[in-house]
Structures are given as structure tokens and as C-alpha cells.
Structure 1
Amino acid sequence: MIEDDVPADPVALRRPAYLADLAGGVDRFFEPRRTSCPWCASEALSARVRTTDLLQHKPGRFVLDECRDCGHVFQNPRLNPAGLELYYRDCYDGLGEQNMTGMFESNRAGYRSRAELVRDTGAAGEWLDVGMGHGHFCQEAAAVLPGVAFDGLDLGDAVELARREGRIRTGYQGSFVDLAEDLARRYDVVSMYHYLEHTTDPRRELAAAGTVLRPGGLLAIELPDPECRWAGVLGRWWMPWLQPQHLNLMPIGNLRAELAAHGFTVVAEQRGEPHAAIDVLAAALMVVNALTIAGEDLPWRATPPARWRRILRKATFVACVPVFVLASLVDRITAPLVRRRGWSNAYRVVARRDAG
């Protein structure tokens, strides 16, 4: 008698590799701690956030330092390449792909708003979306800008998925800085939506954009706003801190000055419109998730949780549904005020590359 094939447990399959990687602890995944700001070199630093991995709950503790002179916020000590690989693994792909895909697909209005801003500043021709993820923005933006051809670039395998799904024309897999010379002066628009905060050296990324753009081309950027007042109210539970993936968070003034230094002129800004009304709900979800995480089967733990822990976790989430509904209502009710009074959790900038 031949038994039916039973699908392999994806968590169990990943467990040996994770346990081997973590056997020596997490210290080896960090660079030495900096004593000066990577943006302005000031030594006037203070700890802004001390936290753990509140998204995947992988082991480790993370600190975001803030420069008291320029306001730049950065991970310190910073993850090294091996650390970035460990903490990105199963976040946007693998075990985390389904959740992330649902989140990306739910942001259609945000994608259209991004495309409309660039359209209104003269977008045309060929567009490269850097850090494109699964290509959902390109798919939605094509409806706003039917005459524009969209290509995408990312480190992950999702580039090929986006190309197969028809969301992009051409996909490039690799480092933008490394590929920039091969793409020199090929594009009329380059976008970096929630990308720069993930990079180790945002200045090099901006320089790469200047290389890739044709004279007069547009660079569109969206970033979490570290000056957002929700960040102070919610502390480490403010989702855009997103540790340990976010390495650099730049106040808009710092970005403006850096764009000018790279030969760009800012032609449009939005401080309120990019706000995603999810701050309170996301904080509530993360708190409940952290309180019940012992009931989730995670491959970086040696053994699966007991059955009663899994049941308790599910029951707690069900019991907290009214809390989540209330948190969502707070987000929606306060959103109009938030967009006017400096509580927005993101900002957008569009800059034109000088013709020289």
C-alpha cells in the first residue's frame, strides 16, 4: 500500500540551517559600534530606540541612535552582510511571502498616489523602480501612466516573478550601485519607494540614481519620517522603525541637502499625503503578537511549541479583535488631522536631475 505524499513542513525544513547559523550567538552578525553619525560625522549621539525583532522575532537586540546635530537616525551597531542575510531570510520571501504579498496588494491607493505625483511633475518615457519587491507598484502605476514603460530592480528572486506576471518589462537582480554603470543614462524616471532606509550607504544610492537617469530625469523617493510624532508616542512599537531591516532614517531636510549635492533640484514634496493610517493598529498587533509569540512555531527555535501554547495564541488573537477594531478606528478618525499636523509616518520627494 502506497501512502499519500504528505507535504513537508516548511518550518521544520528550515530549522537545521537556522540553528546552525545561531549556534554561536548573534554577536558575529554585527559590525563594530560607531561613535559618530554616518551622515554628518557628529559625535553627539543618543539612543532613540532599543528593541528586538518585533516582526519575525528572531533573536537579537537592536539600537537606533539619533544624531543630536543633524537628526539622522541609524542602526548602531549595524548588521554586517551575514546579519542582513539572516534577518531578511523568510521576511519578504519564503515563510513571510504570503503576509508580505497581502500587505503589498492592499496598498493600491498609495501606489496610485505615488504615480500621480510624479505624473504631475512631468514623468514620461522609461521608468526604473529600485527596490521593487514583487512589482505591485509598477502594475498599478502603469494604469496612471499608460505611456510609460516600467522596469524593476531588486536583490531578491521576486524580480523574475514580477516579470512573469507582466508587472514589469525588464527585471534586474542585484545591487543598484553595482549595476548603475551598465544602466547609465537609460531612464527618464527612477523611483526609490521605501528603499533607501534599507541601504547601508544612501549617498551611494543617490549617486547611482544620478548615473542611471538621463539629464532632466526625475528621481522619486518615499521614506519613513523619523520626525513623525507617532514615533515618539509609540516608541519601539512604531512600525516604521522596522528593526532590524531599517538601517538609516533621514529627516527630509537632510535628504534635500544631499540631493542638491548630487546635482538634483527638488520639484515636489509631500509631507502628509503619504501617511498610511496604520500606526495604532500595527502597534496593537505587534504587542499582542509579542505577548503570545511562545505559541508560534518558529524555525530559529529548537523545538515547536506545545499544543496548548498554540491554542492559547489563537484564542488571544480572537479575544483581542475588539481591540484591533478600536485601534483601526483611531487610525482612520485621526488620519485627516495627522496629515495636516506633522504626524504623518512618511514623506515623498521628487527631484529633477540637472541637465549638465
Structure 2
Amino acid sequence: MPGLTRCGRCGGALHSAAVQIDVHPPRATARRKRLRKQFSAVPKLREQAETLSTQVGKTLIPEWVVPDVPESSILWRLFVPGWAQSYLGHRIRGRIFFWSYLACFLSGLLMIGTGWGTWLLGLAVAGHAASVLDVVLLETDSRFERLGKGAVTIAALLGGIYVPLWWGSLFVASPLVIPRAAYPFEPGDVLLTNALFTPRVGDAVVYNVPYIRFNGQVDGRNANVVLEGWRIDRILAGPGQTLAFNGKGFTLDGVPAPHLPLNAGRYRSPFALTARSGEWIILPTTDQYATEFMLPELGRVPARNVLGRVVFQLHPLTQFGRIRSLP
């Protein structure tokens, strides 16, 4: 109302005479000034990045689907299938792209290492590319322009998302397919292994067996056995420890062993093994050709030959879970 000096709702001053002005405003500290000077290029780089993203967006995204929104805001939403469609108002189409992609991707991860897993992951990548092309393709584009945009989309998705994701996942959970029967595993079983780990007693691991030749009895017959390549079993003892089998059970340094090999019933004859420095005791119980007389050489595994820890079994789904020892 005329004549009022303060707002009746918030109490704010309505004319300058009622405002007290501080003649000593706060100043930036010396530390803040140094940081501002050192990072003075950040605002300029951010402005350049926004300009570049807008230019790229104007090049890729057709004008008829951009209802007064900046192209750069759509460009970054293309990394999630269906997000750009939902942002532009096509919610049903966006949900179809998103949920179909999520179903294929998660199912493919669950069946990774199998033929179905490869197909499902391929469909997920193809669905992601289709969601991008649904936004960037123009009705007036020629055949060659469509092919070019399709090739650029696939290259950008593979190089920017899926290849780095696949490469990084190999160190955390790499699929390992069993090529032949190795009780308790069957051909085609899929295990997940982790190469970034510190071995410890009780871990089920993948380890490498160098070229070794044995002459002896196998199934009651004289045989010349050659063993080479990777094997899977559990670390039972570390440097300086003694693992023994008395015909009935395993002992570690004279007391019952806390961990068992994966196929605990593989051997029947008593034996004892002591791990030297830099060695692990790993009994090759999943190898049907490894007998007791080979254990002094096969059972002591150099630490450098341990390749990764088995996280859990992924396929078949009936055996899904952590690796367990069998009696």
C-alpha cells in the first residue's frame, strides 16, 4: 500500500532509506584467491564444453523432435535407453526402450559365458543403438546418411560405454567356461573369477599347471600322463604349513583342517605335504588323471601360478552360488 516502508508479508524494506548498507563488505580470503587463480580456466572450459555439446546436439538431433529444449540436454540422455524419448514427451516409447533393454541386459549378465548370454547382451546393445537412432535420424535423411549415423552410433556406444565396461569388468568378475568334465563341474559350467585379489587359505582359485610328465599307474594300468594348463581347486595350506591325509580326513598342522578340497573324496591313500616359502598347498582333486604319486609335485603350487579367485558359479542356474566342497 502507498506509504508503507516494509512489506506486510515478509517484512522486507520497501525503500532504500530503511536499508543499512555495510561499507565493509566481506572479502575473499587469501586461500580462496589462490584457488581462484589456479582454477581460473575451469569456467572457460565449462563454457567451451557446453558450446561444443550444443553444436554436436544440433548436428545429430533433428529439429522436429526438440520442443524448445537445448540439444545438449538431450545428447547426454542418449546414454540411457529411452531417457531422451521420455524427456521429449514420448513416454510410452521411452519405457519400451528402457525396460526391453534392461530385461535383455540383466538376463545376458545372468547367462554370460553361454550362447544365450551372448545373444541377449547383443540384443541389449542393439536396443540401445535403436533408442539413439530413434532420436537422431531424420525422415529426410538419405540411405547413406542413415548408414553413416548408424555406424557412428554403434562406434560411440561400443567405444564410449561397452568396451571400457567389458574391459574393466574382466578384473572384477571374468567368466570362465569349463571345457571338459572336472567333477564337481560339468562341460559348459560357467564360473566367475576375480584377478584382483590376495590369495588366502580357503579360497577356491584358478591356477596354472606347467608342462609336467608322469609315468605310473592310472586306473590300474601303466600310463604316460602329461598335465598342463589351468586347474580349479581350493587353497588348503600356506607357506610353512603341513597338510596331511590319514585315509579318513584332512589335518592341518596336526589339527582337523578347516577347509576341504572341492572333491574331498578324490584320494584314499595317506599322504603329507609341507608348503615351502612362496608356495600354496592345492590338491588337484578336480583332475581325474592326477593320482596320489603326483601330489609331491602337483600339490605344491608356486604363488605366481595362482591366476584368480573363483567368486561363485553362475551357470547352470541350479548350481548358482558360492563354490562348495563335496564329500
Per the TM superposition, whether the score is higher than 0.5 is no
TM-score normalised by structure 2 residue count: 0.20
Point out the structure with max Rg over C-alpha: 2
TM-score normalised by structure 1 residue count: 0.19
Question: Greater relative contact order: 1 or 2 (C-alpha under 8 angstroms, separation 6 or more)?
Answer: 1
